[in-house]
Structure 1
């Protein structure tokens, strides 16, 4: 066959006769994976979707508040921020805590997990803040004067103004929080 013949439609008169339907064989199966399952653990509870929804809901409020505070300063996405220089960005804060237990801790020895869960505090001087949006994340400098890492928690939507340093971290000079979402659909409490 030539190349052109391969690209043309196959004539219906030359279609091959269909093969008879095959019978699928049945086999018995015994699952032996039960010893490898951990009972009582739910790994479907992730915060990424909650943070994404909150960012979509609250970013316009943070940007509007920041625009009132810093007129003429464009508020960019993290990915659009320049590599160096002054910038204003909006996103969700994430607090990296060295002492906070992670899902990986569940695979460690029980006494190690229990000792970390028995802590009264998960806050330390090594905690770091990161600002993230749908496009990227940027680490916030520990020397930031406009934002106290000890007073922040993960999940807050905020607009930050500062200077991107040569090491890629944002040195925050000002912070503007989104506030609380309006509850326009609810009626006043009697």
Structure 2
């Protein structure tokens, strides 16, 4: 039976235990998609990618000026072109960080090796001892004097203000930093609705479609597992949010360009993706019959590679897309569920930051917090993270104070409740890959309390 009305969603049964048992009703809450800024219809592909840096700096400059005055008082704010007149004088400069790294991927380098028939493996770390940090505005660039240990804390694309002075060598010595910060929360209202959200990522249905853990997850969500009390608890789940890589967690590439064997590889890869997409449709279909579901694409799902990734097309999900309870969204995604603003990505922005810093020992949760303070979801784009050539507005600037801010496809589950200086309270979450951890994350809408449930069989 296909449910096509909002009324039908409210009356979705969680489970009928037997013919004489009661029927549990799943709760219903308001949902609003706030991802309109990620609409790519107005993108002009004739523009250069550098335009996004200009609009990013222009939009965040005003925010930084007010924060500089609040933090450092009556201090001189100068443009880089005016630094000649302020040598050895303490002042503030505002601009965009640029981290010079020779190991970063370069299209020019790839074109110079275009005649090679084998593709090189993507690098997992862009860092080297020769890395340098610069600050640039609309016209000029200046080298920053910074310790190697501190250099790893910053990436290209971050807009900031720096207090310091220009030395005799023409470099800028740093005394203190100032970042745009998280936007203040306007109202601290508690949500009127109660319920729970379930976050899952990295299902990898190409390889785990027959996995017992996946079946247990489906039965739990749909209220077909456990005793009557457990089934009734399942009705508290108001949304399932799938944070990317549902089809696959690794993309196989053709490593034999121009060879006959390469064509066979292409055919095998296409066949595998088609089979896995069908499995994903069947999995989403089972959940959408019982609960509202939001599906984000991931790095290895069948959609565009540039961020923001477009929603999975209804044509590749013919069963699930007919349900009103199913929403296919962008990556990154911003939405409002029961007065709670939820924002996050399927993992590419944080993964790219880790590559640019080389700090694999630092938790993705810490980088997630830094992007909140940098007021930007994808600072390394378009330098090492592919995005559309935006020239009017940078859609990745964080203009909301989220209640829940997550990153998907991490190696393990982590969470913390971040509290800001201006009435901000944000639940940060790392959602692990389900294919390897068998973990789903549960968040209480009312209290933001977070826990996980493991469907492991070991």
TM-score normalised by L of structure 2: 0.28
Is the radius of gyration larger for structure 1 or structure 2?
Answer: 1
Q: Which residue pairs with 1:119 in the alignment?
A: 123
- Preserved contact between residue 53 and residue 157 of structure 2 (Cα < 8 Å): yes
- Preserved contact between residue 145 and residue 172 of structure 2 (Cα < 8 Å): yes
After TM superposition, give the deviation of residue 108 of structure 1 in Å.
Answer: 2.0
After TM superposition, give the deviation of residue 134 of structure 1 in Å.
Answer: 1.3
Distance 1:112 1:47, change over 3 A: farther
Distance 1:112 1:179, change over 3 A: farther
Which aligned pairs between 1:27-176 and structure 2 lie closer than 5 A? 46-81=48-83, 82=85, 84-85=87-88, 86-110=90-114, 114-115=119-120, 117-143=121-147, 148-176=150-178
Q: Distance in 2 between matches of 1:68 and 1:97?
A: 34
Distance 1:75 1:153, change over 3 A: same
Q: Distance in 1 between matches of 2:118 and 2:46?
A: 20
- Preserved contact between residue 92 and residue 157 of structure 1 (Cα < 8 Å): yes
Across the aligned residues of Structure 1 and Structure 2, the Cα RMSD in angstroms comes to: 3.1
Q: Tell me, what secondary structure is at the counterpart of 1:163?
A: strand
The alignment covers a number of residue pairs equal to 144
- Preserved contact between residue 78 and residue 93 of structure 2 (Cα < 8 Å): yes
After TM superposition, give the deviation of residue 97 of structure 1 in Å.
Answer: 0.8
Q: Distance in 1 between matches of 2:118 and 2:58?
A: 35
Point out the more displaced range, 61-70 or 168-177: 61-70
Query: Deviation per CA, 1:21-78, whole angstroms, max 9, x where unpaired?
Result: xxxxxxxxxxxxxxxxxxxxxx968431111101111011112111111111121111
Segments of structure 2 that go 5 or more residues without pairing to the other structure are: 1-44, 187-333, 339-458
Query: Deviation per CA, 1:151-186, whole angstroms, max 9, x where unpaired?
Result: 1111111000112111111111101001246799x9
Q: Tell me, what secondary structure is at the counterpart of 1:119?
A: coil
TM-score normalised by L of structure 1: 0.64
Distance 1:182 1:119, change over 3 A: same
Distance 1:104 1:45, change over 3 A: farther
Q: Which residue pairs with 1:22 in the alignment?
A: none
